[in-house]
Structure formats: structure tokens, C-alpha cells
Chain A
């Protein structure tokens, strides 16, 4: 029996899955390192916007897999960009054939009117409020998958959201964290009010961080195994496959898209799979089974298959022995330990410095 089915059997069969996506740098390859690029992005037409390789294929694969499994998959986008660019974004999503169920933009003009210039760059409060609002409208038993990037504070925002939902972050702990980040007082009040209404079961399965800036993965260790930094959407698909949200055929579809449309090589995908195993994001067993099926589907190179069975067994044994000795976090469903936010904030912003953390990799 496939390990994927074992995972699936543990969950309520028809619980819908909600995928919440950040837009810039997660879905779109937006460039706003300079004011010029920012302006260009703002006035870009839908057909000029470029999506991150494999992202559209992944969203479609999640939808397809959910349908096959008899569960609903809802896709929401949340962006700190102003609603004025919404038309181009919606057109881009339509061009890519992405079915989505909602999209939220940040009303930057309202912040300007209020004279809150600082809030233009501070997104933690805005995103947290919108995520919590979204949860109020969602089915109570819905599972959540969150997708962000390493440009802003997505890993922090999503982790806060997940812990608030699970009731692991009480108001007396949450408020000082938000204040320390520099969240606007009005938004803090809104977060507190919403948190009281949404707290319930642990709903967030995984938080995926697209390493667009190639931030070292070790940076995210403090967030625990729930946060999975990935270098490409094939890696994301593999972890989703291991968690039971995708079948191997869906993972293959994402890999094939990357090879056929974005210049990835079968060897590059094979290496990406190996990287996930070494980072303990998926277990060796699952990676080997999935790898064999992906090789049979022609997505991974057959080169690795040519290695002798004896050598593969020897390597696998060595890796297992080493891993046991190293006592690293085992792959599989993430543990539900509380995240040490004080340590995370200390690293993002050393004590004594009160500058906002936004704009720095989380």
C-alpha cells in the first residue's frame, strides 16, 4: 500500500483543503528591488507578468488531486499590493487558467489617508487579519496549506496564524509579539478579536516558503518542521505528495511542466529530491518509492536507476545509520510544538532595535 494512502486515511475523508497563496515572489516573479521596477510592476499588463516556474501546474495539480480524492480544494490569494493592480492580476490568473476562490489586496490608499506611512511597508498585521477573516468564512473542518516566500515575513505571519488557529498562542503571548513587530494598534485589536472567534483545531498542515532569494534553509529551523523551505515547486509538490495532498501522477505533472517549459533538467529534479531527503523534509522510503515512479514516468533521469542495487542498498543503509546517529527531526507529518517567537524575533531584530522587520527575510 502506498504511504500516501496511509496518511489520507488518517484524516476525515471529505474535509476541504484551503490553499492560501501570497502573490508577489510566490506566484508572480515580481521585481521591485528598485523604485523603477516597482513602478514597472504596478503598470505591467497581465500578459507581461511572469509566474514562478511550476506554480500554475502545482495549483492545478492540487485541485485535480482533491477532486480525485472527493474533497474540495479552495484557492485564495492574499497580497500586500494595492487593489489598483487587481485587474491585471485577475487577468493573469485567468490567462494561466488558475481557478481561485478569493483574492485580497491591501488598501494602501487608506493607509496613506490615515497618515500611517509606516503601515505601507508593515504587512504582518494586514495579512494576519485577512487570514483570520478568511478562516471565519471557511468550513470548520477545513485543512490549510499556506504558500509564501522568503522576501518578507511570510514564514512568521503564517506560523502566527497557524498557532492562533490551533489555540497555541494565547492573547497574552500574541499581543507582545505583534507590538514588538510594530503592528498598528488598530490591527492588533482586530487580530485579538478575530483570534478569539477562530481558535479551534489545529488546521494548518504545512507552510511552504519559496526560496526565491535562496535564503539558507537553516534560517527557517526555528519555525519547526511545519515550515518547509523549498527551492522550486517540484520540491513543494514532492512534500505535498508525501503528505497525501497529491498523488505521484500530480507530482510528475509539476516536474514535467518544469522540464518542458522552464528549462529544468531531469537531473536537476533528481538533485532537488535528494536535497529534500537530506533536509529530512521527506523520508528516504517515500522519496525512493516516489523517485521510482517518477523515473518510470520519465520525469526523473534513468541514470540513477543504472546504479547497482547493491550500491543503492549500501547508500540507503549508510544514510539511515547516519540519520539515526544525528538525531535530526524525522520526516513526515510535522510535530505540533509551539514555535519560539521570542527567539525568532531576536534573530530578525536584535533586542534594543525597534525597526520594523518587514522587508527582511523571515
Chain B
């Protein structure tokens, strides 16, 4: 069973929800969990919930990087922060993968500091998992968008590598035999979007090993046309936050409407089952976290607001990525490209 290092102190609800999530995972799986953080606080939380001690060990460290801290300074100077200690455990072979719900930029920088990039990979990518409309029965309700923040601007070569990484991840984790890959652009024509995107489009079209379906526009992101959407980090981050923001606004508007009029409340009650299905579809806790791809080691970045369920699922996703040899799959895909 793989060992997953968990940054117990990272995230808005750390360490409580992180520890509770690990406790939940320890009861339902045989995954070895290495909790990294303040041992006393972790143990205090652990003792109040059901857990299986056979699958949990703790590495004591009291320092933690805050969500609002300067990531560059923190990663450079805080060697004993839980995030860095957990990453070292992976780099030294004491764990096979790690998860964190902490400061995203610090997570990416920590990976860059302790993990080696896969051979041939120029830059790592942070992949965002998001819910989308499905076009046929059995289609995975979750799609992958990368990069969503590990980079700002990219070259065409890097976008091509992101496509390969995303495709390999979807093949292994979502079990899609031939994931449909698309390039996020301002038009579906291959000549749009400027020099970099046009070059990336041409190169991707010439790759038979990749199921490239062409360019997609913003309105296609939430549709089921592509399983993997590739873009630069700046654009990807904006898109992902926009999707989250719309979901939040929808919830707020519905709540406000329910408060204002009885008839609207009744209407919402009648729609309750549909709303619940929608809520479940957009519930980020079910997929746990998003991977940082391109390194030799697996890193799953959880949402900052992750609750116990999200953390437990992230632990499972990390273990699955290790078992299914996702980094090796990516390395093979990139090697074939060369």
C-alpha cells in the first residue's frame, strides 16, 4: 500500500478537517497516512473521532505556512514548515505521494524545490478538476483543466506537454481510454489566438497518439466536448475561479430568493431534488484535489476550504495515482513525443 504524506497544517480548516479526513481514510482503506504537523494538536483531534491507528503515523513539526504568506519567502526560509517537511518525506522515499490544502503557490514552489521534473518535461502544470455537463451515459462528470496557476505564460512546446500530461492523468485516474483533448482559445479555428496557440494547435493536430479535438471556446468549458482542456496558467486560473464564482453566486441567489418570498421557497422546494443533483455535481469534495503534474512524485493539491470528505478523497486519489504509476505514464508519453 502506498504511503501518503499529508500536510496537516495547510488549509482554511486545518488541522481539524485534515486530520478528520485522514481518520476517515484510515478506516476505509489500507493506505498508510503520514500526517505532518503539530503532533499534540493532531492527536487531540484524532482521539475525538473514529480512526485506525495501524494506518496512521505522525511526523511532529510545529511550523506552518499561512494561506496569505509570501510563498517565495516562506518556501525559502521555513525549512521546518509542515508543507516542506512532508515534501522532504516524499523526496527521501519515506512517502510515495503527498497532499496539501495549503497555500497553492507555496505548494508549487515546494514541488519545484524538492521534486525532480520528469525527463523531457519543461514545466510542471497545476491541473484543476471541475464538474461539467456530460454528453453521453458513462462519461466522466469531471474534466481536467491545465494549467490553472503553476505558470503564467507558456510556449507552444509547454502547452503540448500539458496536453500529454493531462491525457495520461485522465487515462489512469478517470479510466478514459482515449481522453478528448482540446486547446482553450478565442475561436474554434486553428488560426486564432496568436502565434503560441496556433503553433500548439498545429503540433497537437499532428500527434496521432493524442485524441485532439481542436480548439474550444469559453462556453464549451462546462460542456462535455473535451475531457482535458489545455491553456496557460493565467487563463486557466481565471476560468477555474469564474466557474467557482458562478456556483457560489447561484447558491447565494437561490438562498436570498427563498428568504424573500414564500412562493419562491415553494418553487425551490419543488426543485429540491434537481438542485441536490446539481449540488452533488458541483461538489468539489467528491474529487478531493487536483494534481500538480510533471514531477517524478505525485502531489495532490486540495481546495483551501477542504473538509474531511475532500481530504479523505484526496488521499485516495493520491494513492491511486501512485498505484497507477501516473508519473511513469506521463514520462512514457513525453518520451514517445521525442
Contacts and interface: CB of A to CB of B under 8 A. Distances in A.
Contacts of A265: 54
Given A278-B43, A322-B40, A215 B50 contact: yes
A319 B39 contact: yes
B57 A274 contact: yes
A189 interface: no
Given A278-B43, A322-B60, A264 B50 contact: no
Contacts of A231: 52-54
Contact of B50 (A216, A271, A279): A216
A278 B55 contact: no
A318 B32 contact: no
A274 B52 CA distance: 12
A216 B43 contact: no
B54 A272 contact: yes
Main secondary structure of the interface of A (DSSP, over half): helix
Contacts of B58: 274, 278
B162 interface: no
A357 B113 CA distance: 56
Nearest to B50: A214
A278 B51 CA distance: 14
A235 B58 CA distance: 17
A343 B22 CA distance: 30
Interface string B17-43: 000000000010000100000011001
A150 B191 CA distance: 69
Contacts of B49: 216
Contacts of A275: 53, 56
B54 A271 contact: yes
Given A271-B57, A272-B53, A274-B58, A216 B47 contact: yes
Contacts of B53: 231, 235, 271-272, 274-275
A44 interface: no
B48 interface: yes
Given A322-B40, A322-B60, A217 B54 contact: no
B318 to A, nearest CB: 18
Contacts of B54: 231-232, 264-265, 268-269, 271-272
Interface residues of A, number: 27
Interface in B130-179: none
Nearest to B56: A271
A217 B50 CA distance: 8
A218 B27 CA distance: 17
A40 interface: no
Interface in A137-183: none
Interface string A249-260: 000000000000
Contacts of B48: 216, 218
A214 B46 CA distance: 12
B27 A268 contact: no
A90 interface: no
A279 B57 contact: no
Contact of A214 (B27, B32, B55, B56): B27
A218 B47 contact: yes
A319 B60 contact: yes
Interface in A207-240: 213-218, 231-232, 235
Contacts of A215: 50
A267 B40 contact: no
A305 to B, nearest CB: 13
A32 to B, nearest CB: 20
27 contacts: A214-B51, A214-B52, A215-B50, A216-B47, A216-B50, A216-B51, A231-B53, A231-B54, A235-B53, A264-B54, A265-B54, A268-B54, A270-B57, A271-B57, A272-B54, A274-B57, A274-B58, A275-B53, A275-B56, A278-B58, A279-B47, A315-B60, A318-B39, A319-B60, A322-B40, A322-B60, A323-B40
Interface of B: 27, 32, 39-40, 43, 47-58, 60
Can you list the 6 inter-chain pairs with the closest CB atoms, starting with the nearest?
A275-B53, A268-B54, A214-B50, A218-B47, A278-B43, A217-B47
Given A268-B55, A274-B57, A322-B39, 7 more contacts: A213-B50, A214-B51, A218-B48, A231-B52, A271-B55, A272-B54, A323-B40
